[in-house]
Amino acid sequence: MLMPFQDPLRIAEDGVCVDNWSNGRLELGVGQGYRIDEFAGFCMPRPERTARMAEGVQLVDRLWTEENVTFEGKFSRVKNVTISPRPVQKPRPPIWIGARTAKAVRRAAERGYNLMATIGPDPAIPYRAALKEFGRNPSDYSIAQLRMVYVAKNSGQAWDDTQEHIHYMMQHYAKWLGGEAKDAAGDENVWELSEARDLRNSKYADGLVIGTPEECATKLERFCKEFFCTHFVITSHFPGMDSKKSTQSLELFAKEIMPHFR
């Protein structure tokens, strides 16, 4: 959830309901957002996003762990609030922070939240170092890495199925990240392809786990050596894709790749 656009009290209330309905399986992931159009749409100054994010997460955390909360923040205020029922998970459901920059990664470690990484340089090393610096045991925290994964019976089919959809999606991210937000180093070069058909032979291909089961397993083996994570998050369905194809990819991944890594 993009915390700056949410009411923290509502997140806490809705979240505790989900935690109870699922018997303690809720994990809350939050980010601060970056798209200029979204902040303009909410009539919200974009430079406030980091402060809104920090304050919102702090309030949700307190509402889940304290029985009577009074909070006087810059953006949120509550008085003598008790969430009922209480969370099933103790002391609270896990909280994940989506972070792309060095400052954001460090803030997640400082406040003791799990880290959700995106495609790019591995933030696990600075995150784990910061956890130690703040007196926390890195083994107590989780790191998720996100990758695009698509498996097909032959390599050509895998690229044919995905290239147009990935190219369409990444062109939008290039505009939002590199053309508008410019928050992180390298965003201006996030996607430089002009033709979707060039994807399979481009510099981006190595970072995409696309191909036959054997090819994808080899890429994942390399990933395991180069990156650290406790959770591996895959996206196999891309904008405009037939859901039957992405379902087949997931079935192949579960049947022919997952057993290789057990």
CA atoms within 13 A on the CB side of 248: 14
Dist CA 223 CA 207 (whole Å): 9
Rg (the chain; Cα; Å): 20
> Could you list the pLDDT tens digit for every one of the 262 residues in the chain?
999 999 999 999 999 999 999 999 999 999 999 999 999 999 999 999 999 999 999 999 999 999 999 999 999 999 999 999 999 999 999 999 998 888 989 999 999 999 999 877 789 999 999 999 999 999 999 999 999 999 999 999 999 999 999 999 999 888 888 777 777 777 777 788 889 999 999 999 988 999 999 999 999 999 999 999 999 999 999 999 999 999 999 999 999 999 988 8
Dist CA 52 CA 97 (whole Å): 14
Token output for 174 = 């290039």
* Segments making up each domain of the chain, as ranges: 3-146, 148-261
What are the angstrom distances between the C-alpha of 140 and each of 40, 66, 89, 128?
A: 38, 22, 16, 10
What pLDDT sits at residue 28?
97
What pLDDT sits at residue 253?
97
Could you tell me the fold of the domain covering 3-146?
A: TIM Barrel (3.20.20)
What pLDDT sits at residue 186?
72
Closest to 100 (Cα-Cα) out of 38, 183, 21, 22: 183
3-state secondary structure of 70: strand
Contact 165, 82 (CB under 8 A): no
- CA 161 from centre of chain: 24
Residue type, 14: D
For CA atoms 82, 83, 88, 89, give the dihedral sign: negative
What pLDDT sits at residue 175?
87
